[in-house]
Structure 1
Amino acid sequence: MQTDLAKTLGIEFPIFAFTHCRDVVVAVSKAGGFGVLGAVGFTPEQLEVELDWIDEHIGDAPYGVDIVIPGKYEGMGATDADELEEQLKAMIPQEHRDFVQKLLADHDVPDLPEEERMRELIGFGTAIAGPQAEIALSHEKVKLLANALGTPPPDVIENVHSKGKLIAALCGSPAQAARHKAAGVDIVIAQGTEGGGHTGEIGSMVLWPEVLDVLGDTPMLAAGGVGSGRQMAAALAMGAQGVWTGSLWLTVAEADVPPAQMQSYFD
């Protein structure tokens, strides 16, 4: 099941596991795959803690980190995360806030305890994702940085390459794949609309060959609804260098998922 990309990364199986759970990253990489930790939801300080833990438990296996820096977004260019968060909050109409509060009150949903509240903006844009990328690249066992939304900025691509690591980017259309390739992205992840995350409107079996035709020698990972060995074999036969998977890792024993939520995936 070896592919050229698997050999480059030093892994046995070209299975890339996107997850927000550090335990899953470690389990997959130690089993011969390639775990990728989603950084969205972590402050730079929290991400450092997570990566230190992974480094301590993963042995000599490699892994990756996934960040989000869209090509366009409100507040683009902002470098202070707190200021950007307040700026975006100010754009939410009061009637929207009132609707949410009424909905919660009507159904007797209590307020979250202060210690359980999450920041509403963590990881989208350079204000947070920039420092996240720097932290990820400082860890020797991190061999891949992926951008989940849009072509990575030129300075990020240059920084990744200067550290001797690879950079990947997700796409949902051949046009997006072409932009990634032109920008110098090493790996393009073609995610069909069957994917559980943010996707385009093209089905996986249509998207993958179209993207392969655009990329030429640039490696492609197939994503979007991949959950079995047969699907993986089909993707590899088509020309993919591996598969990028996500949702299925919410159902494994190592996943940090509440029991009721996990059961809902099987019902």
Structure 2
Amino acid sequence: MKTAATELLDIEFPILAFSHCRDVVAAVTKAGGMGVLGAVAHSTKQLEIDLDWIENEVGDRPYGVDLIVPAKYAGDGDGGYTMDDIRKLIPDTHREFVDDILARYDVPELSDPNDAGGGMYGSSGDAPFSAKNAMPQLDIALAHKTAFVANALGPPPQFLIDRCKQEGKLIGALAGRPQHAERHQAAGVDLIIAQGSEAGGHTGEIGSMVLIPEIVDAVDIPVLGAGGIGRGRQMAAAMALGAEGVWCGSVWLTTDEAETHPAVKEKFLAATSADTIRSRSLTGKHARMLKSKWTEEWERPDTPDPLGMPLQPILTSAAQQRINRAANTPGSGANELANYFVGQIVGTMNQPKSAGQVVMEMVEEFIEATEALAAQLTN
């Protein structure tokens, strides 16, 4: 395929795969797309290990890294709080509420007390979703063969843009409104990801069918469609709306290579497109995820409002670790609470496949869809 995105990124198919799993990144890259490693939960050591591994797997094929530095976050005037700063700011009412959830659902304590302070984002150092945390991650990404760097929340900070430009790397950013895309272009971004509300993770309120053409019309740099895209027909629809390719995240979560928690993967395989919700319960910003008892608890009218980012993820991280450790027992409280970020495309993610198979099926269905449309114009 030849589009502005394939030319810019030097890839065969205009399919970019966002994943926290290095195996998915490598598999999609080798299949002709571009894998983009989500680095927010990586320690600097693990990020270096994973990028070395990816490069060994994909050779000279280009791949990307996704960082998360929101435009506004607690303590951003100083580059973000440390973990110790955040612990002091979390109200006791919120700690007590999380403890109450764990107690009512009979979620066991961790067997190793030393794990209790860890969770998804670690127990010390700079907080996630901050410039202080992203800077060493960016240093590692740029020291490798990373061809593309994306920022997933708000306009990329100037230090990120400047460093990428200096190193000759391409930079992209997600946008949920045309105004976001215009700001990204003005800041020097090379590629816009127009992400509709159907998407998993942090997302806005505008559906992709409306959003993609709005953003295409608002900027004059290549646009990728995102949100509710996991099949070739959806890819064809996004490109008919003016996108030069697609950005997919959720569809990889049930692939053979994905490291998705087994209990959550089973839920994804059984879910419908109506089984997701935009919730602030994990990160403090609206993010689409699977409905579960966890999201229900935070939606109750008598519960405290989620804290802002990055306080909320630190508040809930250790609790999520306890839930995940015990979630494999069917019918348990931990299993009921278990969830993860996923988009509305989950309704069609009902069969395990390899990541490479997903890529090829998308391309084949894209060809069938575009040929069928072309046939409608034949007299």
TM > 0.5 fold call? yes
Q: 1:261, 1:76 → 2: CA distance?
A: 33
Match of 1:201 among 189, 195, 205: 205
1:157 aligns with 2:155: no
Equivalent of 2:106 in 105, 108, 118 = 108
Determine the structure 2 residue equivalent to 1:49: 49
Residues 168 and 188 of structure 1 are in contact (CA less than 8 Å); yes or no, is this contact kept in structure 2? Answer: yes
CA contact (8 A) 2:152 2:173 kept: yes
Output the amino acid matched with 2:203: T
Q: Partners in 2 of 1:101 and 1:68 — Cα distance?
A: 28
Q: Determine if the alignment matches structure 1 residue 238 to structure 2 residue 236.
A: no
Q: 1:66-87, CA deviations, whole angstroms, 9 ceiling, x for partnerless residues?
A: 00111111111435x7x62222
Structure 1 CA distance, aligned partners of 2:218 and 2:46? 38
TM-score, structure 2 length as denominator? 0.67
- Corresponding residue for 1:17? 17
Q: Equivalences for 1:37-186 in 2 at 5 Å? A: 37-78=37-78, 84-112=82-110, 113=112, 114-115=114-115, 117-118=118-119, 119=121, 123-140=128-145, 142-186=146-190
Hey, what's the Cα distance between the residues in 2 that align with 1:213 and 1:229? 23
Q: Is the 8 A contact 2:82 2:127 kept in 1?
A: no
Shift of 1:259: 2.5
**What per-residue deviation string (whole Å, max 9, x for no partner) do you get for residues 107-141 of structure 1?**
2212233347323675311111111111101112x
Identify which range, 34-43 or 3-12, moves more after superposition.
3-12
**1:261 and 2:261 aligned:** no
User: Could you report, residue by residue, the CA deviation over 1:42-67 in whole angstroms, capped at 9, with x for unpaired residues?
Assistant: 11122111111111111221100000
- C-alpha separation in 1, matches of 2:73 and 2:253: 29
The one-letter code sitting in structure 1 at the alignment partner of 2:239 is L
Q: Which stretches of structure 1, 4 residues or more, deviate above 4 A after TM superposition?
A: none
- The CA deviation string for residues 15-66 of structure 1, in whole angstroms up to 9 with x for no partner, is 0000000000000000000000000111112211111111111122110000
Distance 1:266 1:105 in 2: 28
CA deviation after TM superposition for structure 1 residue 209, in Å: 0.5
User: Partner of 2:360 in structure 1?
Assistant: none
Distance 2:127 2:137 in 1: 10
Instruction: Please list the CA deviations of residues 5-24 of structure 1 after superposition, one character each: whole Å capped at 9, or x if unmatched.
Output: 21222211000000000000
51-60 or 199-208: which moved more? 51-60
The equivalent residue for 1:32 is 32
Q: What RMSD, in angstroms, separates the aligned Cα atoms of the two structures?
A: 1.6
SS of residue matched to 1:150: coil
Give the structure with higher Rg (CA). Answer: 2
> Taking every aligned residue pair, what percent have the same amino acid on both sides?
53
Alignment gaps of 5+ in structure 1: none
For residue 131 of structure 1, what is the amino acid of its counterpart? P
Taking structure 1 as the reference length, the TM-score comes to: 0.94
Structure 2: runs of 5 or more not aligned = 271-379
Read off the aligned partner of 2:2 and give its amino acid letter. Answer: Q
